[in-house]
Amino acid sequence: MTQEKALAALIAKIEEGGEVYVYQDMIGALDMDMNAVARAYHGSLDAAAALHDALLPGWRWSKSALGRVSVFQERGEWFNAEGQSSTARAWLLAQLRALAATRTDTPPGAAG
Is residue 112 in a domain? no
72 is a domain residue: yes
Query: What domain range is 64 assigned to?
Result: 3-102
Higher pLDDT, 4 or 69: 69
- Whether the CB-CB separation of 33 and 51 falls below 8 Å is answered with yes
Q: Does 109 reside within a domain?
A: no
Residue 108 has pLDDT above 50, yes or no: no
Q: Is residue 51 part of a domain?
A: yes
In the chain, the number of structural domains is 1
Asked if 104 contacts 112 with a C-beta cutoff of 8 angstroms, the reply is: yes
H/E element, 69: strand 69-72
Report yes or no on 108 lying in a domain: no
> How many Å separate Cα 84 from the centre of its chain?
13
Q: Is residue 30 part of a domain?
A: yes
Residues whose CB is less than 8 angstroms from the CB of residue 94 and which lie 6 or more positions away in sequence, other chains included: 61, 69, 70, 71, 79, 80, 81
Res 28: pLDDT: 65
Q: What is the pLDDT of residues 85-102, one digit of tens each?
A: 899 999 999 999 999 988
